[in-house]
Chain A
Amino acid sequence: MKNPKIKTTYQYGFHKPDNPTFKVPVGLNKKIVEMISDYKQEPEWMKQKRLEAYEIFKQKPIPTWGADLSKLDLDKLCYYNNPSRKKFKNWRDVPKDIKETYDKIGVPEAEKKFLAGVGAQYDSEVIYHHLKEQWESLGVIFIDTDTAVREYPELVKEYFGTIIPANDNKFAALNTAVWSGGSFVYVPKGVHVTIPLQAYFRINAKAVGQFERTLIIAEEGSYVHYVEGCSAPIYTADSLHAAVVEVMVKPRARVRYTTIQNWSGDVYNLVTKRMMIQDDAFGEWIDGNLGAKVTMKYPSLILSGRGARGEVLSLAYASNGQHQDAGGKAIHLAPETTSTITSKSVSVGNGRASYRGQVKIVKGAKKSKSFVRCDALLIDKTSRSDTYPTNEVAEEDVNLGHEASVSKVGEQQLFYLMSRGLSEAQATSLIVNGFIEPIVKELPLEYAVELNRLINLSMEGAVG
């Protein structure tokens, strides 16, 4: 189609004054790590974990195998910026600027209508956290991870860094060294949290790093759906979001983790997410990447127990100036484990979407099955899509499938829709929305609606 001119459609680009109550100097060194830990008045064991991780971070080079990170200047970021000394359980008490931000995003309203609990992180700290009484009384814990270190140190100690050790990769090490905020979720045996828990991550200050650390533990036979959304103002300076998310899915439990990442176009989004899935348990990542300048994120399934099942649904939407390097990993460590990875990517303008995936089946993981499907849709001549799948299979008695397709928005489809009176922009939006429909239908409704709106807006700017 025609040369695209993508309209600015990002509606969360506003920012409020940066009024931190505490902020560390720009840059990173051992002192800063200690400063963060001391300010948080952490126990010694956590401080030690941070310092060890910092040493690992220093040793590991910036990865060069994926998206271009050469412009990311880690010395120019602020690694801790606390907007409020207090945390709140009632929106009425939240400082005005911060409350207004979440009102604009619609978080308090969503909480009233369809959520079991909400956590809201603003720059480095979670400022609001609330779980409805009904779930609290069943023993569900949903708090920020800093509070969890104080109130449930045994649980945190037992799981923290066990699924994603600090030496996993440079940004996991960085997160472990300077982490702050994030959610801690504990669902007791047999408890089904039937409506979602949601966390909302907002970067407000300029050139800061947000390093939330999320830990979810679902005990035997339990169920929880955790949803996270993210946004940030538009600045000219780059920000970094390097989260670590560890999820433990105990036997016969089920965890669904949904992300709608909608950072502004100056955020580097480098996230490590991994689920350990035990016997007959089921873990799902639904991972939508719409925003950010660069995303590198490959939610992983570690199928460690017999009969464990895992699924990754990955959606990447790369518009002008964006590189979404996304995908999924499935590591089969036990017999009769099943994984499915479905990736759909849409590239618009000069946007680039890459699928990067790994399936590994170890010796002895007999009768395991894995199926990977990636479909890419290119809107413009300048749009780009790549796939980098890796398979390592050490067991013979397995079933492995892979399908991939790349398509362009078809001239015949456009003509057909336009012959019914739809403009080129409307027709293109319909085709794109149709393409991603299999993933969108898995999203909570309000996110699905938001996604359609975003795509329609960006098509209006892109064509015609």
Chain B
Amino acid sequence: MMKKLVIDDLFAQTLEGKEILKGINLTIKQPEMHVVMGPNGGGKSTLAMVLMGHPGYKITRGKISLNGKDITNLSPDKRARLGLFLGFQYPVEVPGVNFSNFLRMAVNEERKKGDKLSPIAFRNLLLDKAGQLSVSEDIVKRMLNEGFSGGEKKKAEILQLALLKPTFAVLDEPDSGLDVDALKYIAKTINSLDFPLGLLLITHYQRILHYLKPDFVHILLNGKIVKSGKAVLAKQIENSGYEHLKYEKP
């Protein structure tokens, strides 16, 4: 069976009742890369959170399915175990929790008994991937996102992606606030992942697309996808902005 993430007529609101997603339809097949672009406040981050099952949002209509399984009402950990990953725009700091121990715990959670990684095996794996991303070796000693610079936080998200090996990933603005070098490392790592991945990349800017080649680009505006196209759509947006799309019929 082909692996796919299907978002079907998805409506979601905040717990206070503010409707943010208003009928999203999107199908991502592995190993496609889809990019969702759009202005601030259009619902991009909400889409990412809702896909992962954030308790601060309520799905009022529609369905999310992952590889044929309905995950609409599953808790975030169950979604993760079915192969979904979310790269956060603003990864939260968890004081006192060692990055490396945490990640080993998460990686081993997916593995069967007898196949768990030992601390040393995991450390080697982590350092290898960290090297690819140009993340300093002292990551093994640091606490989860605590005191990380903006760039380090973004890289640490990609590092987690590379080690957790999900089947689908949603990356929420992995490019915002990065310098060109960090951006290149992140793009390079995404391009060279050693496992098949369906990717939904959310971005505000066209910049990262100089290094990544998406199969499809979607424009999210006011809770709806108003336009979909090939990579070239991103270029058009760069030139003409989102403004004119507001008046276009989807």
Contact = CB atoms under 8 A, between A and B. Distances in A.
Interface in B45-84: 52-56, 75-77, 79-81
B211 interface: no
B102 A417 contact: yes
> How large, as a class, is the contact surface on chain A?
20 to 34
A32 interface: no
Interface string A421-454: 1111011001101111110000000000000000
Contact of A422 (B77, B91, B92): B77
B96 A422 contact: no
A433 B97 contact: yes
A418 interface: yes
Contacts, number: 74
B149 to A, nearest CB: 18
Contact of B86 (A410, A411, A419, A427): A419
Nearest to A431: B94
A377 to B, nearest CB: 11
Contact of B80 (A421, A431, A433, A434): A421
B96 A436 contact: yes
Interface stretch (B23-31, B104-112, B122-130, B237-245): B104-112
Given A420-B106, A420-B160, A421-B77, A411 B55 contact: yes
Contact of B81 (A411, A415, A421): A421
A344 to B, nearest CB: 10
A421 B94 contact: no
A415 B76 contact: yes
Contacts of A22: none
Given A411-B55, A415-B55, A434-B143, A422 B94 contact: no
A422 B78 CA distance: 9
Given A430-B94, A431-B97, A422 B106 contact: yes
Contacts of A417: 94, 102
A29 interface: no
Contacts of B96: 433-438
B97 A422 contact: no
B95 interface: yes
B102 A419 contact: no
Q: Which of A410, A420, A435 is the most central at the interface, judged by chain B CB atoms within 10 Å of its CB?
A: A420
B197 interface: no
B95 A434 contact: yes
B35 interface: no
> At the interface, is chain A mostly helix, strand, loop or mixed?
helix
Contact of B92 (A413, A435, A437, A438): A413
B54 A415 contact: yes
B88 interface: yes
Contacts of A436: 96
A416 B81 contact: no
B164 interface: yes
A433 B54 CA distance: 23
Contacts of B88: 416, 419
Contacts of A435: 95-96
B194 to A, nearest CB: 19
Nearest to B56: A411
B55 A421 contact: no
Contacts of A424: 75, 77
A131 to B, nearest CB: 36
A175 B27 CA distance: 73
Given A411-B56, A426-B105, A430-B102, A418 B95 contact: no
A21 interface: no
Given A415-B54, A420-B80, A421-B77, A434 B105 contact: no
Nearest to B91: A416
A236 interface: no
A412 interface: yes
A420 B88 CA distance: 11
Contacts of B85: 419
B45 to A, nearest CB: 13
Nearest to A375: B95
Q: Which 7 A/B pairs are nearest by Cβ-Cβ distance?
A: A434-B96, A437-B96, A421-B80, A434-B97, A420-B106, A418-B76, A418-B77
Interface of A: 410-413, 415-424, 426-427, 430-431, 433-438
Given A417-B94, A420-B106, A422-B105, 9 more contacts: A415-B76, A419-B77, A419-B88, A420-B164, A421-B77, A430-B102, A433-B96, A437-B97, A438-B96
